Amino acid sequence: MRISAYNVFFFLLLFSSPANAQKKAEIGQIITPYGVILVWLYDETPNHKASFIQLAKANYWDSFTFNRVIPDFVIQGGCPDTKEGFTDSAYLLKPEFVPSLKHTYGAFAAGRDNNPGKYSARCQFYIVENREGVPRLDGNFTVYGKVIKGMEVVEKIARVARDQADMPLTPVELDVNIITLKTKVLKKMGIQIPGASKR
């Protein structure tokens, strides 16, 4: 794992807080050449959340890139699409469509091929970069998280030079990790936690 100032900063925040009964959260951390993206993972989609955490802890994505970037739409990372689709069941997850979790700006979701069951390819993820959202994707792809910090990084990545297949001309490398932070610390940092009013 590459060391960054963000890693040091977050660990200092975590361990300098009193060890009292504060709620902790596992946060997705995506380190890119353009900065760091933090992702809140929804409890409402437990299988997708668990899958992301498992693959991140296994350093699965660290050999991949953001391989599809489309301004005012999405940036997508992980294993690239194949002509055969994702035929290996180990790559697939049953969809977890939650009506309240929509493709709004910053939504974090699972890619997939055109399989009729709309099973997710758990090796792929994408982030909605359109400020108006992409409602036509709702109910077709599983949204299982939300960017809580780093949308300026997402916007930079969405606008890198790319080829006719929307692949960046210069690879946008991924370093995907899971960090554990107290929700109190996140709030002190000014980070809005999705669904915080319900917690």
Tens of pLDDT along 20-76? 446 889 999 999 999 999 999 999 999 999 999 999 999 999 999 999 999 999 999
pLDDT at 89: 58
Residue 46, token pair as written in the block = 């437990």
Q: What is the DSSP letter of 64?
A: -
pLDDT at 199: 45
Task: Using pLDDT thresholds of 50, 70 and 90, give the confidence band for residue 141.
Answer: very high
172 has a pLDDT exceeding 80: yes
Domain that holds residue 155: 5-16+23-198
- Please classify residue 7 by burial: count the beta carbons closer than 10 Å to its beta carbon, then call 0-12 exposed, 13-18 middle and 19+ buried: middle
SS3 labels along 81-146: CCCCCCCCHHHEECCCCCCCCCCCCCEEEECCCCCCCCCEECCEEEEECCCCCCHHHCCCCCEEEE
CB 1 within 8 A of CB 177: yes
Cα–Cα distances (Å) from 158 to 4, 26, 38, 175, in that order, read 22, 26, 17, 18
Task: Using pLDDT thresholds of 50, 70 and 90, give the confidence band for residue 196.
Answer: low
pLDDT at 11: 45
Tens of pLDDT along 144-171? 999 999 999 999 999 999 999 999 999 9
Count of CB atoms within 10 A of residue 179's CB? 16
Task: Using pLDDT thresholds of 50, 70 and 90, give the confidence band for residue 142.
Answer: very high
Q: What is the largest CA-CA distance in the chain?
A: 53
Tens of pLDDT along 74-131? 999 998 765 555 655 567 899 999 999 999 999 999 999 889 999 999 999 999 999 9
Q: Give the separation between CA 37 and CA 106, rounded to whole angstroms.
A: 10
Report the CATH number that the domain containing residue 109 is assigned in CATH: 2.40.100.10
Q: Give the separation between CA 101 and CA 143, rounded to whole angstroms.
A: 6
Q: Give the separation between CA 179 and CA 76, rounded to whole angstroms.
A: 21
How many domains, the chain?
Answer: 1
